[in-house]
Structure 1
Amino acid sequence: MSDPITILIGPDSIDPNRPKFQGSKAKFALAEKEGSRKTVFTMVPNKEYYKNLKLNNSNANTFSHKPGGKYKGRWSKNKKEGFGTQTYTNGSVYEGEWVGGVRHGKGTYYVLSKIGKKLVKQYAGDWIDDKKDGLGVWTGNKGRYEGEWSNSKMEGKGKMEYADGEVYEGQWKDGGRDGMGVLVLEIGDKYIGMFKNDKKDGPGRFEYYSTGKVYEGEWMDGTPKCGEFKNMIGVGQETFNLPSLTLTDANAVLGEAVAGVRQSKAETARPGTAKFSSDDMSQIRLAFSNFSGEEDLIKVESLAEVIGSLGIQLQEGALEGLLEKIGAEMDDDISYPEFVDIVVVVASGV
């Protein structure tokens, strides 16, 4: 099948004194796209023509090529460079900056709407090497996103206003919610906590404003696994009373359950992660209890000593690097589930 060809309309100025007869080199030099061109039309192969040719059919209205896209703007060494507008074969339009023949810099991408066939803005923002990358605003059927991009996917910090009325603001990775974020439902209920692979995963708090209740605990794959369900102070109408816990040490039981869930998730998510037996977990709990106070918390500054009491050899700078990564200060408090997370990381060397 024939390759696409281009038809040049321009350039904006042509030397009126050029020779009437020119050699091939001079003609190629004249055809080279450089500077500003009014319009460059692209002709693409016509599948219908080649189908008829293969079947030995004749059709006077069928030609080997048909109109494709068109570009108007700046060129350099036969490539789009600078500001220009590209209209694609499907009717979508990019208007913005180009480098080396690809979208790069600031630009806006428009698509044809299904109703009325009008151009509507889909994305406006930064581009790198023909991909959305940097800061940008995207609007589509799912809603409106404003924030950071990488490799044409939502990544970093951003806010999505969904078409169903929900709003999420927080961390993104590979196009999905990942990290710390806040999700507000249309009815006003709110989730504040961790996400992974676009689902609630990790420690989180769900506020049920319609009933005035709060769930705080551990989530896994979008489902609450273990936690505490309690009344929200001064919010909502009480529709039922929560029974009081009768356990001797409810916080310790909850801490053990949360730690177990996190250990299970760590083993699944990171091959090679240290796996602790029930005896190991008992030793970890005992070491933590030896250094914790009445509130079942230890200070960050005590971490190295507590971990050392378990016989775990810390690699030089490993703990400091981890604490810096999570933004922990020396006078911060660490709960038992958080301590288990840290022990898993340092024991695995990951």
Structure 2
Amino acid sequence: MMNSEQQPSPVGVREAWNVESVDAISRPGSSPGLHSTSVNGSTFEMDELRRAGSYRVKRPHSTDPTASKKRTQEARLRSLANAKQKKVFLNFAPPSSRYPEITLPNAAYMKRALTPPAPVLPRRAGKNLSRSQDGPLSRGDLGKKGTIDSREGGSYVGELLAGRPHGVGNYFCPHGDGMRLQYEGEWCQGMREGEGSMYYWTNESYHGDFSQNKRHGYGRMEYRSGDVYHGQFFKDRKQGMGTQYYANGDCFVGFWMNDKREGLGTMYWMSRGKKYEGEWRTDTPCTGSMIAMSTEEEAQLAQQRQAAAPVTKDAPQSITEASMPKLKLKTPNKIVFAEAVGVRRERFTAEGTAGKPKRTAQRESGTLDDSTLQRMKHAFVALAGGDGPQDAIRPSKMSDLCVLAGMDPAGTEVPPLLRELNAHTRRNALLYFDDFLDVIINFRSI
């Protein structure tokens, strides 16, 4: 954009013609429309100047000093306004000049950018591995098969990528005078990764998920004693929800932490026809209830056991139990409730490195924490009007119960909890206090 100083201004021409045009008009007998004169060597007619706006007639100035002062002030204000407008306009830059248009790269670059990268591995053998003379190694092509011999005497046979096990393959280790299969399954960059099977020298085996050479995920572990575990693993240890079938027919279903039973779990003694529901602490039951199993429950467990892990040992002979005194407590779950609250509070308040597994077990077990249990008990007492054996609430009040306890109605744990509470109502459509405590103690959201 050119400013007023750079553009050819017609002001000089206008002022020159003003002088001569006025002289021409002042001469008698002259006609402005036919008069012609010259400026800077050019001849112009007066009518052309009039149409072009360069013809201006001088007007006589007023002798009134007030009007002259007023015109001077107006001219000054106009000049200041024009200067300010000119300054703002000169400093203005449209967005198109500050931000140039974006130009996309060509189609070849775009196709290369949208293509997922291929795995890039060093072109050398892995740690403690050397090239085998039996088969050629892959030099970067995925899916090629070959053999790698380790310095410890083991051998890998399967798919390779850049000199490492990558894909599906088997690893053999020395055993006596020969070789035995140690692992078969998926590999990734020289490590067991994915789904596979591990065979130990102790005649034990694992089938399931691996991550960085460790059992991690969901799997099945078969022990030498005949026990079988189905469940979650975390860094080579049983951790999470799992089911252990014992060789004598018993079964445990619950939460594990560092290869030990921790948290809420149920132990089924098939030979006795009883089950224990309650809290476990470092593989030991601490508080819960001993309940007789129903016939339907025994048949279902026996069917699951036969499909998952057949019994390999004879069940122990039944022991004649001493007669126990009859339970006279009207609400026995009150005692279990108080003990469960104490155990869960102890897990949350455990400090140091030794208490970290306990805190993790309480957070991941899916059970209600100690504060939630206390709030739900107080809410039930407020709605039912007491905590006696005959105090109860109707199903229409169960949602209000969760709201009074401070639970989010849209949370993931509220719908299954309401279903469990409705399932424990009696024939008169009432949920009694003792049944309510039994539900919230043994509730698990996972």
Normalised to the residue count of structure 1, the TM-score between the two structures is: 0.62
Of structures 1 and 2, the larger Rg is shown by 2
Q: 1:188 aligns with which of 239, 245, 249?
A: 249
Q: What count of residue pairs does the alignment treat as equivalent?
A: 267
3-state SS in 1 of match to 2:247: coil
Q: Could you tell me whether the CA contact under 8 Å between 1:84 and 1:98 is conserved in 2?
A: yes
Q: 1:151 aligns with which of 204, 207, 212?
A: 212
Q: 1:82 aligns with which of 133, 141, 144?
A: 144
Is 1:109 aligned with 2:197? no
The structure in which a higher percent of residues are strand is 1
Query: C-alpha displacement at 1:82, in angstroms?
Result: 2.5
**CA 1:186 to 1:331, structure 2 compared with 1: closer, same or farther past 3 Å?**
closer
Deviation sequence 1:57-102 (CA, Å, 0-9, x none): xxxxxxxxxx96526334226x997321101111101111222433
Q: 2:346 aligns with which of 259, 264, 281?
A: 264
Q: Could you tell me whether the CA contact under 8 Å between 2:143 and 2:167 is conserved in 1?
A: no
Is 1:92 aligned with 2:92? no
Alignment partners' CA distance in 1, 2:218 and 2:150 = 31
Amino acid at match of 2:229: Y
Q: Could you tell me whether the CA contact under 8 Å between 1:111 and 1:119 is conserved in 2?
A: yes
What's the counterpart of residue 24 of structure 1? none
3-state SS in 1 of match to 2:413: helix
Q: 2:421 aligns with which of 324, 329, 333?
A: 333
Unaligned runs of 5+ in 1: 1-39, 45-66, 346-350
Is 1:229 aligned with 2:290? yes
Alignment partners' CA distance in 1, 2:226 and 2:170 = 26
Amino acid at match of 1:73: P
What's the counterpart of residue 323 of structure 1? 413
Query: C-alpha displacement at 1:313, in angstroms?
Result: 8.7
Q: Could you tell me whether the CA contact under 8 Å between 1:212 and 1:238 is conserved in 2?
A: no
3-state SS in 2 of match to 1:257: helix
Query: C-alpha displacement at 1:108, in angstroms?
Result: 0.9
What's the counterpart of residue 202 of structure 1? 263
Is 1:129 aligned with 2:189? yes
Alignment partners' CA distance in 1, 2:199 and 2:394 = 46
What's the counterpart of residue 378 of structure 2? 286
Alignment partners' CA distance in 1, 2:165 and 2:258 = 29
What's the counterpart of residue 253 of structure 1? 335
Is 1:309 aligned with 2:408? no
Q: Structure 2 matches for 1:47-58, cutoff 5 A?
A: none
Deviation sequence 1:258-315 (CA, Å, 0-9, x none): 23212222333449x9x978xx97555212444689798998x956x545535x596x
Amino acid at match of 2:224: A
* Cα RMSD after superposing both structures: 4.2
Alignment partners' CA distance in 2, 1:285 and 1:329 = 14
Identity of aligned residues (%): 25
Alignment partners' CA distance in 1, 2:370 and 2:125 = 66
What's the counterpart of residue 18 of structure 1? none
What's the counterpart of residue 73 of structure 1? 136
What's the counterpart of residue 167 of structure 1? 228
Alignment partners' CA distance in 2, 1:258 and 1:151 = 38
Unaligned runs of 5+ in 2: 1-123, 299-316, 351-357, 364-368, 423-435
Query: C-alpha displacement at 1:205, in angstroms?
Result: 1.6
